Structure 1
Amino acid sequence: MFKKIISYFYPIQLYKTTSEISKTLEITLVNGQIVLDSLNTNYSYGSLQRILRKGLQSIGFENIKSLQHILVLGVAGGSVIKTLVDEIGYTGKITGIELDEKVIDLANKHFQLNKIKNLNIIHHEAFEFVLKTKLKYDLIIVDIFQDTAMPGFLFENFFQHRLTEIVTANGYILFNTMILNDHDNARNKAYISFFKPEKYNVWTLPRVEEHNELILINRKK
């Protein structure tokens, strides 16, 4: 209780480790809440949870509750999964894909993701999973970062096309991006132009928590 009170005045580091993929990983108590951070950004809970919650709100909580299967590419500590289960009351199937095995261990130990019954976390590379999966998903959440860097494959047309093949008719893609400069802004505009208006509804939530832009895609029936 004492640490929780102190955390409202300054962050308290509870655990720190490293991984080959994410480099520095820290479990910190901030404003009474445990968060997962990399060296330069919030990985789960904290600002990231607020960012993705806004995206889910834009889709509509009641709409999400009716979906059958959600795919999360980039689980980290699982804050968006906690929003789906605890806040929205989603009871359908959730498949989470996470490349960093150390992050999965932290998520289970500190955030109890392994206790969520409708969640299946798979240790896998997101590109390969999307390439190989034979299932379709009603909502695909793409939230893949290595610290502040976003892997280049996320913006390749082949990956975008594959996402459109595995999202259901009237399904959604929620893509969390970070804009730090003019190049990133142009990159996002090029990404959006891939989705033709006769087939997709596309909208953005810019400057969420200052540097993040959410891109939302709804595949028309």
Structure 2
Amino acid sequence: MLSKRLLSYFIPIKIHQKKSEINKNLEVTWTNGQLVMDSKNTNYSYGSLQRILRKGLHYIGFERIRNFTNILVLGVAGGSVVKTLTDEIRYKGKITGVELDPQTIELAKKYFEIDQIPNFTIVLDDAFEFVLKTREKYDLIIIDVFQDTVMPNFLFEDFFINRVNYLLNVNGFILFNTMVLNDNQKQRNLDYRSRFDQNYSVRMYPKVEEHNELFTIKKLM
């Protein structure tokens, strides 16, 4: 393993490839000395995605996050944002992760040991279905739901938005990672922002790692 890790500073070394009905193709690769999980066209965990979500968490504030008690992650993949929360931010509260793809969970356990993270529960479910069923409230809801580069339409529909808002505690935050590849998606995000009234403080951070746009949304009352 050490030789592959060292060699990966010069060229990526693929160590596992798996077909998935949901994400088509999943790969685990040594890149620049780090294990990453990728789909066909984008990074799923660690690598650029971890940097993107770390920036979003930084915008919210690490100290503030440490004082939260309950976090929901919609879209777990390899679990890099969970590792950021526990290892870097030193968050000690409860984390629930929801992931639709069982193949992704299998790889995340084997290569990234997400099942060893304390106070972290992973749920195999559709994000839309989960938010309908859960009775818990959350201080932070991270939405990072993709199938390769495609974002499901339900993420931008009123019913889902309103349900997520209901699950969020007052003074809690939504961190929403989106991808903007064309003008239609740019307009989609502007329309999404307009769905929040004066009870929410919404900030947009465009061109994070070039094609991603982050939202942080604070519930004021």
TM-score for the superposition, normalised by structure 2: 0.99
Task: Note if 1:86 corresponds to 2:87.
Answer: yes
Secondary structure of the residue aligned to 1:141 is strand
Match of 1:148 in 2: 149
Secondary structure of the residue aligned to 1:18 is strand
Secondary structure of the residue aligned to 1:131 is helix
Structure 1 unaligned residues grouped into runs of 5+: none
Task: Note if 1:63 corresponds to 2:103.
Answer: no
Aligned counterparts of 1:22 and 1:2: Cα–Cα separation in 2 = 30
Secondary structure of the residue aligned to 1:83 is helix
Match of 1:211 in 2: 211
Give the CA RMSD over aligned residues: 0.5
Match of 1:123 in 2: 124
Cα shift at 1:204? 1.1
Match of 1:184 in 2: 185
Match of 2:102 in 1: 101
**Percent identity (aligned):** 59
Aligned counterparts of 1:62 and 1:34: Cα–Cα separation in 2 = 28
Match of 1:110 in 2: 111
Aligned counterparts of 1:69 and 1:110: Cα–Cα separation in 2 = 26
Cα shift at 1:205? 1.2
Alignment of 1:26-41 (within 5 A): 26-41=27-42
Secondary structure of the residue aligned to 2:196 is coil
Structure 2 unaligned residues grouped into runs of 5+: none
Alignment of 1:12-31 (within 5 A): 12-31=13-32
Aligned length: 220
Secondary structure of the residue aligned to 1:205 is strand
- The letter of the residue matching 1:210 is E
Match of 1:162 in 2: 163
Cα shift at 1:24? 0.3
TM-score for the superposition, normalised by structure 1: 0.99
Aligned counterparts of 1:89 and 1:167: Cα–Cα separation in 2 = 22
Cα shift at 1:2? 1.8
Cα shift at 1:78? 0.3
Moved over 3 A (4+): none
Aligned counterparts of 2:167 and 2:21: Cα–Cα separation in 1 = 30
Secondary structure of the residue aligned to 2:122 is strand
Aligned counterparts of 1:5 and 1:109: Cα–Cα separation in 2 = 21
- The letter of the residue matching 1:90 is Y
Cα shift at 1:29? 0.2
Aligned counterparts of 1:123 and 1:208: Cα–Cα separation in 2 = 29
Deviations 1:53-77 (A, max 9, x none): 0000000000000000000000000
